[in-house]
Amino acid sequence: MKGPLDGIVVADFSRVLAGPYATMLLADLGAEVVKVERPGHGDDTRAWGPPYTEQGQSTYFAGVNRNKSTRAIDLSSPEGRDEARDLALAADVLVENFKPGALDRMVLGYAELARQHPGLVYCSITGFGAGAGRDLPGYDLLVQAMGGLMSITGPGPGEPTKAGVALVDVITGLHATVGILAALHHRDTTGEGQRVEVNLLSSLLSALVNQASGYVAAGVVPGILGNAHPSIAPYDVFSTADRPLVVAVGNDGQFAALVTELGAPELATHPDYATNPARVAHREELKARLEVLMAPSGADEWQRRITQAGVPCGPINDLAQAFALASSLGLQPIVEVDGTPTVAHPITLSQSPATYRSGPPDLPSD
């Protein structure tokens, strides 16, 4: 079955995570992706292990490089640059995350390639943009710190904590994919390619959504609230008789249903808890009262009862439990490609679904 991007050729000059994630999503949707790697070394993530697949590949590399072919090209040599240029001029899309200006010096920059190939969609991914921040290193952890995410993440005030995955890279990869698809649509309409630029800092600031809007529109600089929500309560992790339970109350009706199931319906009309703003103002004391009510039973029992009452809640799963949950719901979260399990593409298309044609490529021998 052909994918929706069948016939699109992508020259992938990116490495590590944001770019490779974007190009893998395009490859899953049918694009032909040719990954350019340094001879004898390849993408840095080839060496990021353990863990490893049964075939001996780094699972980090394997997680974002299926459905691609690879070519070892030495960009430091004139012959390698000529080979890379030929690849780029034959492609519909080029994705790169070199330091700003690096490919220009190799005569592989946007201006030169667009002059020869006006229909090329050229996507550049940087850490802090190509202007004054061009020399700042684009590492996910640095952007989580410098971009404000760690200032609102952690167990409590004074304990900033990074997310448990390179979240900013993933978000930026998604933004790159959206930009590329928009540029391809523009090209279909006008025949013109264009440059797509995304950077980790701007992607993070956009992804901070309500927290960023609270600062931009109201001047509020948020802090760390642990698992609590700055604008909704109760929306937190609660202790039970055996293990923690997340309860996410989004409105007054859900709160009334919750406290009724917990055996304290009078809390729904208590002046400190009757409305969401009141509950937010009295968040800590409300949490303490709810945990007293939850203490007699375990998380599974409360999940069953609270869910039946129409209130969102659930236990904190590890990854094994999370994949088991997705499987039990019929979501088919794992597919096998060339004998190696991989995480399924997240988008379902009724007429042109994602395909899994090949596993992550081995690095070509010299």
Which residue has 């004898």 as its token pair? Answer: 40
User: In whole angstroms, what is the distance from residue 102 CA to residue 295 CA?
Assistant: 60
Distance, CA of 357 to chain centre: 23
Of 12, 140, 169, 236, which is the active-site residue?
169
User: In whole angstroms, what is the distance from residue 199 CA to residue 21 CA?
Assistant: 14
Instruction: DSSP for 126-170, please give it.
Output: ESS-SSTTTTS---HHHHHHHTSTGGG-SSSTT-----SS-HHHH
User: In whole angstroms, what is the distance from residue 156 CA to residue 170 CA?
Assistant: 25
User: In whole angstroms, what is the distance from residue 119 CA to residue 92 CA?
Assistant: 7
From residue 46, alpha-carbon distances to 16, 17, 36, 42, 152 in Å are 9, 12, 13, 7, 32
Tell me whether residue 169 is one of the annotated catalytic residues: yes
User: In whole angstroms, what is the distance from residue 158 CA to residue 171 CA?
Assistant: 26
* Nearest alpha-carbon partner for 356 in 342, 92, 181: 342
Do residues 344 and 334 make contact, with C-beta atoms less than 8 angstroms apart? yes
Taking CA 94 as the corner, what is the angle to CA 89 and CA 133, rounded to the nearest 5 degrees? 130
Dihedral class, residue 248 (left if φ above 0, else alpha if ψ from -120 to 50, else beta): beta
The pair of structure tokens assigned to 124 is 């550049």
Long-range Cβ contacts of 262-270 (<8 Å, 24+ apart): 262/290, 262/293, 262/294, 263/293, 264/289, 264/293
Catalytic site positions: 169
